[in-house]
Amino acid sequence: MTAPSGYPSDLSDERRQLIEPVLTAWRAERRGRGLDIGRPPEHDLRPLMNAILYVDRTGVPWRYLPHDFPPWPTTYHYVACWQEDGIFTQLTGLLRHLVRAAEGRDGEPSACVLDSQTIKTSANVHLADQGTDAGKRIIGRKRHLACDTLGLLLTVLVTAASVSDTAAGVTLLSRISAVHSRVAKAWVDAGYRTTAIKHGARLGIDVHPVQRPPGVKGFTIIPRRWTIERSIGWLMHHLRLARDYERHPHRSEAMIHLAMIDLMTRRLTGEATPNWRGT
């Protein structure tokens, strides 16, 4: 097996053991369907995942991958295949279940928190995939996230920044209801209007807007909502998410799943997440 490249973003043996069975099963299933006919795969799964995590953590373009990783076209090919086959979503669900169990929680959540983050885009993002968030005066995309009460990702939707929280919230609630049948409560901010609240009621989810305390200015911790705000902060340790660099929105969603996969594997193994503060 190829030796680890030695970067701080690399998988440790313990983190590899958490995710590699899913990747190995994916590779075996593809060969079983005759999709990988020919010579055996040239690259092991561990260095491929290390290369992907390196991009997600450092924010470098794919073409700038160091040469001790697999070639960037091969690495990006695996990103595309894993995203299209739902592997990142599968890993997120598996790891979330393990983290919740380790925290003494039921594997499936009964409540969630919804929020969004507007982010600027890079020059390679097509104008048709961008929009203007009039409230924040940002041209770019918007990440709509749903997390459990521990701040662990349930689902994500990336849209143009012009898409309202209410419109995206309807989609998020539908996804949550379809996959997480125990969820009966969702906390949101004031940006989620009646349409989302009524849609949640039809799905059996009580959508409860949490308002800022009256008269309070500047930063303040808001009950329930702080959970997902903290999650967004966790994700921003991954410099690929500091701006939306992905040409396609579904690739943006994949990079968010990757960041959460990185965070949850470290949480399960007790490994620190180094950041610019050195903590």
DSSP string, 120-154: EB-TTS-GGG-EEETTTTEEEEEEEEEEETTS-EE
Distances (CA, A) of 99 to 7, 20, 90, 149: 25, 17, 14, 12
Q: Evaluate whether 70 touches 51 at the Cβ level (below 8 Å).
A: yes
Predicted local distance difference test score (pLDDT) of residue 135: 87
Pairing of strands 138-148, 153-160: antiparallel
Say how far apart CA 114 and CA 154 lie, in whole Å: 10
DSSP character at residue 159: E
Predicted local distance difference test score (pLDDT) of residue 3: 43
pLDDT in tens, 109-128: 999 999 999 999 998 888 88
Ordered domains of the chain (ranges, CATH): 13-84 (no CATH), 108-246 (3.30.420.10)
Predicted local distance difference test score (pLDDT) of residue 32: 76
Predicted local distance difference test score (pLDDT) of residue 2: 43
pTM, 2 dp: 0.91
Predicted local distance difference test score (pLDDT) of residue 33: 73
Torsion of CA 200, 202, 206, 207, to 10 degrees: 20
Helix (H, G, I), strand (E, B) or coil at 117: strand
Predicted local distance difference test score (pLDDT) of residue 279: 46
Predicted local distance difference test score (pLDDT) of residue 275: 62
Residues in the chain, pLDDT under 70: 1-5, 34-42, 219, 273-279
Say how far apart CA 262 and CA 250 lie, in whole Å: 18
Say how far apart CA 204 and CA 219 lie, in whole Å: 33
Say how far apart CA 183 and CA 192 lie, in whole Å: 18
Predicted local distance difference test score (pLDDT) of residue 274: 64
DSSP character at residue 275: -
107-118 CB burial, b ≥16 within 10 A, e <16: eebebbbbbbbb
